[in-house]
Amino acid sequence: MAEDSQFTIILCLALNLFSSIGIVFSNKMVFKYYCFPYGTTLTIFHFFVTFLSLLVCLKFRVFQFKRIPILKVMPLCASFCGFVVLTNVSLLKNTVGFYQLMKVLTTPFLVVIQTLFYHQKFSKHVVLSLGVICVGVIIATFNDTKTTISGTLVALSAVLVTCMYQIWVGTKQKELDCNGYQLLLYQAPISALLLLPIATFTEDYIQDMYLPEMDTILMIFLTGVLAFLVNLSIFLVIGKTSPVTYNVLGHTKLCIILSMGFVFFKDQLNWKMTLGIVMTVGGVVWYTYLKQEEHRVQQTVESTRTKEFMAQEDPEKDPVAEKE
């Protein structure tokens, strides 16, 4: 049973890793090569495809439908919309370097929030490994970091909203006694509806007037399929591990994307970026080893408790009682 659980976690991590890398490069093609101008609209389309894909999964009994109070899901949906809006505003107000620097803060912010408000405990070595990862990412992505007070406030708000979204993805599954499929079935359409007015006010459909050709439509549809896999795997990974582990996976993806950009798109990769990537990968390996050790210790403790419980439930028969 434990092995099946470990295998499932590895499968979910791999699904998120490959689908996320795929959607980064496919989105890059949609925006850069096909000149698609509507970022928020594309996000809405992604959630629409996610919702339809989940209905297909429900039809084929991949998971069971569970009725969930919509008000209980609203904080999760609102936090995602806040994440989309604040991330876009942060990119407008800040340089890419400062945006990346603030994005790294998501990991330490998660540790602090979960420790203070959710009574989550992190060992000293785990915190140190996370520190190595964050420093590595900063070295790999650090460049121009010019900003303003308003830009800093927006970036910090984006980090906080991102943290709450990731935390709620995990806690809501426990609170509502549901799995990732069941929760995402509600979150996807609600988030899409909440984003509709935002897209209407922020994206000029008339002035930009974009009529996609067939190859563009096919590429956009591909991003929708990948978005479904990304969205589902986020819920599965956080539900089966933790928001911090999901963030570590995110830093791993960044290293792979930077390396693939160098190999396939001839992006620049200097010694500083190489050092940062190596440092990040080292931190990820260390973190993975520590979590494996924690899991092994937990399994040992649970096994011991089970044996003690079984011994209490099945005591040796009383010899006197046997004679009677």
- pLDDT tens by residue, 276-294: 999 999 999 999 999 989 8
| Cα 159 from Cα 319, distance rounded (Å) | 67
pLDDT of residue 322: 46
- Average pLDDT for residues 244-248, to the nearest whole number? 95
- pLDDT of residue 324 exceeding 70, the answer is no
- Average pLDDT for residues 251-276, to the nearest whole number? 84
- Average pLDDT for residues 242-251, to the nearest whole number? 94
Percentage of the residues of the chain whose pLDDT score is greater than 70: 93
> What pLDDT band is residue 144 in, cutting at 50, 70 and 90?
low
pLDDT of residue 306: 74
- Residue extents of the structural domains in the chain: 39-204+212-303
pLDDT digits (tens, 9 = 90+) for 114-140: 999 999 999 999 999 999 999 999 998
> What pLDDT band is residue 297 in, cutting at 50, 70 and 90?
confident
- pLDDT of residue 266 exceeding 90, the answer is no
Lowest-confidence range among 77-91, 180-194, 207-221, 304-318?
Answer: 304-318
Per the CB < 8 A criterion, the answer to whether 134 and 104 are in contact is: yes
> What pLDDT band is residue 315 in, cutting at 50, 70 and 90?
low
Written as one string, the DSSP assignment of 102-162 is HHHTHHHHHHHHHHHHS-----HHHHHHHHHHHHHHHHHH-------HHHHHHHHHHHHHH
pLDDT of residue 314: 62
| Cα 132 from Cα 204, distance rounded (Å) | 43
- Average pLDDT for residues 225-232, to the nearest whole number? 96
- pLDDT of residue 55 exceeding 50, the answer is yes
pLDDT of residue 71: 96
- Both tokens of 130, joined, read 């996370």
189-195 CB contacts, 8 Å cutoff, 24+ apart: 189/47, 189/48, 189/51, 190/70, 190/73, 190/74, 190/77, 191/47, 191/77, 191/80, 191/81, 192/44, 192/47, 192/48, 192/51, 194/77, 194/78, 194/81, 195/40, 195/43, 195/44, 195/47, 195/81, 195/84
